[in-house]
Amino acid sequence: MNTLNKKHKSIIDKHNVSLTKGQPLVITGEQGSGKTLLAIEIAKQHGTYCRTTQDEMISLSFFKKVLRMNPETIIVEETFLNKTEQALMKTSITAKEAPNFIFISQSTEYLSDIRSNRRFKILEI
């Protein structure tokens, strides 16, 4: 196991990070802090995963294409998750057959909105 993986393992262990269907994980942190690599490490623990961006996810045709791939986890990068985007994602996240979701964001602007919504788990690194 390389140093990077040890770092991520310690973060995962320290914060008791796990994925729960219907309760997405939001990872925030500065650019270059390792958010994406951490998300990949977490997703790998749950099987198959795919990476996409928020702009792609908002496109219904693209989202359906991702779901047909049948990943256990979808990592959504470049996320801001303002109230409008939270509402757009709500149906997808809570669907009976929905995969796990990990949202990655540099922005902390909407974290107070997300914290008030028990549907999301937040990990700040």
The structural domains of the chain, ordered by start, are: 3-124 (3.40.50.300)
Instruction: Say whether 38 sits in a helix, a strand or coil.
Output: helix
| Calpha distance 21→98 (Å, rounded) | 7
Q: Is the pLDDT of residue 93 over 60?
A: yes
pLDDT at position 115: 66
Tokens coding 83:
């109230």
pLDDT at position 79: 73
Query: Which of the four pLDDT bands, split at 50, 70 and 90, describes residue 43?
Result: very high
pTM: predicted TM-score of the whole model, two decimal places:
0.81
Question: Using DSSP, how many helices (H) and how many strands (E) does the chain show?
Answer: 6, 5
